[in-house]
Chains A and B, each alone.
Chain A
Amino acid sequence: MKVRLYLFLAAISVALAAAPAWTARRPRYGGTLRVEIGASVASLDPVVTASSPEETAALAQIGPLVFEHWGAVDAPIGAAGTGPFRVTSWDAGKWAELVANEEFREGRPFVDGIEIAMGRAAHERLVDLELSKTDLTDIPPQDARRAAERGVRVSASQPDELLALVFVGGNAGPNGAAATSARSAGKVTGQATGQKTGQANGPSRGGAVEQVMGQALSLAIDRVAIVNFILQKTGEPAGGLLPQWSSGTAFLFPAAAPGAADLEHAKELWKQIAASGPLVLGYDSADSLEQSVAERIVVNAKEAGVAVRAQAVPVAGAGAEKSRGAGLQAGHVGVQLVRWRMTSPLPGVALKDFLARIYAGPLAGVEAGAFPESASPEDIYGAQRAVLNTYRVVPLVWLPQVYGLSARLRDWKAPGPGENWPLADVWLDAETQTPTGVQ
């Protein structure tokens, strides 16, 4: 397969960002920043547990505004009010008002305060941006291009969130070359529904079956089409566990559109395993992007003769992780879509985190070798190759974090992996004209 580099992000930043008319450069003090988010945060109290992944993510952004130190496990360290802002009003799950902390150790923020509207739907947030009723909101990546075409000022981070397929359960077995042995052994029979057929730590027949399934799927999926049509070019096809901008070697894991030979190879692999039913692909029922991608995968798989059925799995609500696990089991889901955000721009650090998830999940039972954060480029390549050779993790696309900005918002830099919204550093340009008659 030919190696290609995809530079969609550069295109986004150039083509989609509607640059405002600049009037100033050095930061100005004053003004109230208006932020809208989709999640509803019930409390900043560390003893209150977030009820959904969205709330956890929002908490990780709002928390550091109020607490100077926000721990690695998304929990505050120290007292509220030690951060750049102080809470002056809190209507749980709906509305929050923060005021600049004049005594903040790193200096008072430029804005006087922040108003945060919570629980706002994506279309409401976009409309409010268009009407200049808000200054900052997050935009689903699949809506980025449409928003820009409607005149919204869009800011996108480097692609730092991996959308991937992972096999559910720990059927991998310790041998990373199991797929090869499965092929050489001829036909392998097995369930395609994720039912465990082998011990996690033994030479797993189920693991070998899934490995072949994973390889067939990986060959059949058109990642380029997912990026071009579902994501409207906001993202990059993913072949490895790290994006090109971070590791510099993502080109060694090709992610080009499948050719006829790839589809033929996928068909042969699927015939070898003689699956008793379709492979059930689980996706987050509350995530429209995951749903679209899952449906696309079903179509791609069908073209290669691979039987896949998409199934929504509820994850929202209290005990989300638990309910997702139960939903996966109840639905006999064999493979699921996951979205993993990098925790650091540094390839060694980010990969170490991904490996921890992988060896606790889809590769549970497989002994993970030591992987230092200061690993060499070759070690980083080798660790990715070891995971990908098992086909229990199939990278699909890299997603950026996308934000909509008002014309008056200045010095906004889309936060990278491990970074928070830089709301203490942004400022509002009072000279920028907002559309008249709309407030």
Chain B
Amino acid sequence: MRHTLVALMEDKPGVLNRISSLFRRRNFNIESLTVGHSETPGISRMTIVSEGDDTIIEQVEKQLYKLINVTKVTNVTDEPTVIRELALIKVTASGATRSEITGLVDIFRAKVVDVAPDSLMIEITGTEDKVDSLADLLRPFGIREMVRTGRVAMVRGNNGRKKPEIRD
């Protein structure tokens, strides 16, 4: 099963290396990993998607938490969560196909962010499924480049209702 973990960590040199090294060394799988600043200065927030059964994911959480620089690990898989990914897609667009493509872009509430004589760059935000669907529809036109950020996640509403630390 796919799990989504949110980890908070001190923004110190080498922390990303510690995390990726841990996944490699313990033979854990990473489907996607995104990292950026959190609301607290000096603390980064990472969203990790990992595939594995409950025992493995429990190990992932505990081993992550064991890293000295990691301050908190939450498994949000079973929480009501907003999940988003951002993608930029550069698709071949001639005069003949351009309006058809922008039609699709509108349906997905995506945006055209760059127009060139023979291509369009599209920005889309949404769940991975939504990004996949648009990419599938655009593929026949010719996707020249695509970049996806990987999943970011945040629990809805008052996430203080349950103490999320794995510490016991």
Q: A and B, one complex?
A: no
Residues of chain A having any CB pair with chain B under 8 Å: none
Residues of chain B having any CB pair with chain A under 8 Å: none
